Structures are given as structure tokens and as C-alpha cells.
Structure 1
């Protein structure tokens, strides 16, 4: 569920392949500088502006301060993975819980500034809080991007957007090339991955509130991914556990993927 891509989709007992099958290892940073050539049907007279630029700005704005984001992935078989993330980029604190219907696994991740804590109900140390310093994670880990407030791998997502347009006052629809976003986390499914449907909803403040990828009717072989942002600006209290033990080196290494 985390970055929310790699660190968000629960990894078989080691780490969250956070969501969004949409996951992958993300890069930190804003989703700005979209390629305007990827926007379909852009109308220079539309006072809403370029749809892709608006989507990038909406993602950035939704992650500027504290919020809660819920990620849901529905697999082609119908099983569900749900992740909740509370985050405050100002204090670099993140709390996630992820549950997989298929495996029955529940995983928790806490980021408290430089400290990373992980607990799962399975694996070699079930129900035990494991701790490591973020400095011990390999460079490029999506955990770092999460701590800085990028929950969904914004830059990589915007690079994957192949066409978008306004379909309502606050609605944007289009397509995403999943091979550009998270090829490592999704199976090779041919052409269906090249144009997965995208739908985004913005609020009156221009923030992203809902994002969905996939359509089980159009592409039943692909997972359907959805996220919802809410609780903008509300206080986030995340405290470190007092009974954590040192995280095994093998798990620390796995969290660098």
C-alpha cells in the first residue's frame, strides 16, 4: 500500500507492495512537468486548462499536507487487497495497514522520521514489531518517497499516462500504460497493459480525491486499482512502538525493491 506502489502492495510477508499494483518502486518528488503531447482532446480555450497538467497538479496538492489515502486492488479472480495510509509529510510520519483477502495476511508499517517499523501476522516473526533505520535501506527504496509524502509514485504515474481529457467539471478520464508504471509488479499481459482506463475526481480545491485504474468489463485479465484521499489537513498522531526488535538484514534488503 505504500508508495503505495511498491511499499503498498503487500509483499508475501516481507513488505507492502503498496498498492497499487500500481506500485513499483517510485521516485520521490512531484508529478509536475507532464508531457503535453500525451493529452487527448486538449482545448486551448478550456478555462480548466490542460487535463494532464491539472491531474499532475491535483496529485501534488493532495499530498502537500496530512491526509488519509485508502488503496484497493481487486484481482482478476475477485480477491481484494485493501491498504489504509495516514501520512503527514511535514513530520515525515506515515502509518499503514494492509490486508489481503487471498492470503489472509495483515501488515503494518510505521515511519517515524528516520525509523521504520514493520509488523505482520505471518512470516518467521509474526505479530512482532521489527525496526530498522531508514538509512539502512538501499538507495531508491519507495519507503523514502513515502516519508516525504509521495504515496503513489506520482512522477512515474504521470509518465505512464498516455491520454487524458476533461469529461466533467471535476472529472478527468483517460488511459495509462501500466508497463511504464509498474512492470515489475504486474504480470506480462500484452496489449491490455498499454491502455488501462483511468478515471480521476478532483474537489473544489483542485485536490485529487479519487483515482481508479482498470475496468473489469473491458480488461478482465487486469486488476482494478482504486484510491481515495480524505481527511485533508487533519492531525495525524503516529507513535513508535516500545517493544520493537531489530529487523533481519534479509528483510531490510527486500524493502529496497
Structure 2
């Protein structure tokens, strides 16, 4: 991981210029745009480990070995290519594989996953996320567009969304233009009338731009944009600045 001292300086981003008059709908990434994902996953894995300690101690012992966890994930990717985009399915079946390897009851995979999944939805929103959601939803239909498995209703923010698409349910994920086109259709507008908001320069940025959307790149960590000649229409370090730009 790059530290602030070792991280390369961000290269200047030549924003293409946001055309607010074109915007009729918003598509919005979730993980690392509305909340930081890795603290959430760490807490969820801790809750899962505690549950396994109580209900499947042999599996819990295996789960403390990071190499074993990585092997479980790799095993599932190889054995179940149909789950490649299904983060919930991959997690559930990885737990099942660990249970089987440890000699525990594989049926415990279902309740074990639910412990993980419940905690995965106990996110801590960025300070600017809820005010921005309220602002955006009061002006446009907002469609959640994610490669992850967060459910906006379980998170508690579903009232702000017109619809929600994710890669696991749709069958392809970002940056494939098809999921962006489907999100525009869910909002009832043309793709060119959508502003996509997201943090990942490749998945969100390249995907949205190639699909024909305008892009608001949320660059909270002073990352480098290295996808020239493509460029975001606006780059912001937090969502309040975007809301101000939208008026």
C-alpha cells in the first residue's frame, strides 16, 4: 500500500467540462464513493470469525490463516466461474469450502454468510454522502450501479434511489458499457443524459465514458488519472463540491 510519502503525485486532470443542462438522471457507485469499503469488510470478516469460533471451531482455526482464505477464494473462482461476478455467491461458497475442508457441516455456510452479510451492510457513510444523496434524489432519478453486493435498502439509504443494479444480478459488471446502458434505461433516459458518479478511474470512469455518459470522478485520495485521452467531465475530492457544481 502506498503511504502519503511514497504515493506518486497525482497528475493533472484535464476535465472535459460538465454540461449540467444535459443531465436527466444520475448513476452512482457505492463502495468507496459513499462509504469506505475495506473497514466495512474487515469488520464483517471479524464478525464471521467470531461466529465460526462459536459454531465451527475447526473452520475458525483455518480461517485465521490468510493463505487458506486466499486459497478458498481462488478455489471458488476456478471451480465456480459462474460466480465470478457474484460477490455474495463467492463469499458463501468460499465459507462452504472451508467448512468442508475442516470437517464441519457445510450447511453452516448459509447462517455464517448471513452473519458476514449483515455486518457488511453496517457501513459508515462518508460525511458528505447523505447530504449529497438527498440533494441528488431531489433533482434526478438516482440509480445505484455497483460491482459489489451492497443492498441500498439494507444499508438504509434505499429511499434515495430510483433503482439499483449490480454486476452479480445483471450478468456483466463495470466497465462493460452494457450495465451502464441498462442503468440509463432503468432511469428512463438516454445514456447521454446520465451523469455517472464514481471513484474508480477504470471501472467507473472508463466504463461510463465509453458508454456515452458524462462522468464525475470522485477522487478522494488524490489518485492519478492515467486513461488519456479520455477525461472526466468534472473531478471532485468530495461530493459537496459536485453538488455545488450541479447548482
**Shorter-chain TM-score range:** under 0.3
Structure with greater proportional strand content: 1
The TM-score, its normalising length taken from structure 1, stands at: 0.24
Larger Rg: 2
Structure with greater proportional helix content: 2
The TM-score, its normalising length taken from structure 2, stands at: 0.25
